[in-house]
Structure 1
Amino acid sequence: MKRTLLLSTPALMLVLSGCIARTAANVVTLPVRAGAQVVDWSTTSQEEADRNYGRKMRKQEARDARERKKEEEQRRRECRRAGYDNCG
């Protein structure tokens, strides 16, 4: 019984030392990782900027198209009121 305990103690020490070292490393690197995450949240990557710019431009183009269509319809109505035959 004592022999089994003696053999398992070094193995247990090796396993625990790795676990403790890993925990210590996690504790030490936690502030660095947290700081990096804050920087990532507060800055915009080039990919995000391109995506946002593309979205903004598509919305602007859609607004412009709606305005053009509205203006064309208004011109046609005014043309018909004026009594012209060919109001395009």
Structure 2
Amino acid sequence: MEPPHSPFGLVGQIARDTGWSVRYILHGVNYPSLMLMWQDCSRHVPSRRKTPAELSREMSARSGSPPKNMSPLEFFMSMDGEE
């Protein structure tokens, strides 16, 4: 999820989420209160992705390292068969 890129996007999202009219948001609510409400609302924060090195260490710990002559496809197929 990406935050709004301008004040117009912010007003549009507040109008969508609260049902308030754009006129009410622009003329009926002061800007500092709007910013405080917006910063306090819940939002989705994606989890951190694991780096390739972390994934590799995790997979090695699960099933040991693959033999040197085994292709990655064969390695993953053998892991699928084990589960």
TM-score (norm 1): 0.25
TM-score (norm 2): 0.26
Q: Is the radius of gyration larger for structure 1 or structure 2?
A: 1
Query: 1 or 2 for the larger relative contact order (CA 8 Å, sep ≥6)?
Result: 2
